[in-house]
Amino acid sequence: MSATDQPLVKAQGIPAPQYYNASTNAYEAIEGEYGANRFIERGRIVKDAFNGNATVTKTYNTQMFGLGIVNDGETDVVVTVNGFTITLKAGESFDDLFDAFTSFTITTTSAYRTVVRA
């Protein structure tokens, strides 16, 4: 680590809450509210939501990390993400995080509801 600037210091030499950003090669202030750091977990911000009852492949221009799906029908719903295949029986649901993905496939003739998160 070789920052182009020095760690941030508040009045009287007290270090300011900060982190080193390797992308900018600089120390940056941590911003938050009520004394806490701001934190947004990857895969928790909904970027897409859709319903269907047929096979579909969805592709995105940005990385996604989370997927939730509910099988509202009577036959299996099969989801393939990053080479993982998940089968949902009638009435089952799935909601979890993955390594970054930009596409996934749902294979079914059953009704389903889906949310995709970044």
Instruction: Enumerate domains of the chain plus CATH numbers.
Output: 7-39 (no CATH), 46-117 (2.60.120.10)
- Is residue 45 pLDDT above 80, yes or no? yes
- Specify the pLDDT at position 3: 53
Task: Output the pLDDT for position 43.
Answer: 80
pLDDT digits (tens, 9 = 90+) for 48-64: 999 999 999 999 999 99
Q: Which long-range contacts (CB under 8 A, 24 or more apart) does 51-54 make?
A: 51/111, 51/112, 51/113, 51/114, 52/106, 52/111, 52/112, 52/114, 53/108, 53/109, 53/110, 53/111, 53/112, 54/108, 54/109
Segment 42-53 shows an average pLDDT of 93
pLDDT, mean of residues 5-9: 70
